[in-house]
A = this chain, B = another copy of it.
Amino acid sequence: MDKIVYSPIGRIISPFKEAKGTPIQPTAEGTARGKIELFPEYIEGIKDLDGFSHLILLYHFHKAGEASLIVKPFLENEVHGIFAVRAPSRPNPIGLSIVRLLKIEENILHVADLDILDGTPLLDIKPYVPEFDRRDNVKIGWLGKNVDKLSNTKDDGRFL
């Protein structure tokens, strides 16, 4: 199938300068704050975004190591398929995080609950809408036995 080509619409400005030490998911360190710098040519696209409290960010894992179909994720000592984990070393290294929108100043979006590396190229912003994005009665497979350890887990550099 044909290649698909995207261009970044902005970049993440974050206190996390390297993978090692970065929280592995936003909820693991809910207080981390940062900014989204939207490139000025896209500013029309954020009209009315300030009415939403949470944003879905899609971004390119620019520091991901080579793609691997089998990985040993954080929280775990066994290997799993890459599509059953959230690690960055994916065939298409697209990251997804839900952040809290604090305020918008021109083309700068101030956000909280950040778990993204500084300088990460941003691909898309979508409003988080519980009616579309929230599910109940969810089974989480291998993660079930580990998910309570999340809040103490940081990146140890294994996906560099």
A84-B52 in contact given A4-B5, A130-B140 (Cβ < 8 Å): yes
A44 close to chain B: CB less than 8 A: yes
Report how far A78 CA is from B6 CA in the complex, Å: 28
A96 close to chain B: CB less than 8 A: yes
A7 close to chain B: CB less than 8 A: yes
> A90 and B135: CB pair below 8 A?
no
> B131 and A150: CB pair below 8 A?
yes
Cβ 8 A contact of A11, one of B1, B134, B137: B1
Residue on B nearest A101 in the bound complex, by CB: B139
Number of interface residues of A (CB under 8 A): 68
A56 close to chain B: CB less than 8 A: yes
> A46 and B84: CB pair below 8 A?
yes
Give the number of copies in the complex: 2
> B129 and A53: CB pair below 8 A?
no
Report how far A137 CA is from B82 CA in the complex, Å: 31
A108 close to chain B: CB less than 8 A: no
Interface centre among A51, A58, A133 (most CB of B within 10 A): A133
A26 close to chain B: CB less than 8 A: yes
Interface centre among A48, A83, A135 (most CB of B within 10 A): A83
- Which A positions have Cβ atoms within 8 angstroms of B? 1-9, 11, 25-27, 42, 44-54, 56, 58, 60, 69-70, 79-86, 90-92, 94, 96, 98, 121, 123-135, 137-144, 147, 150
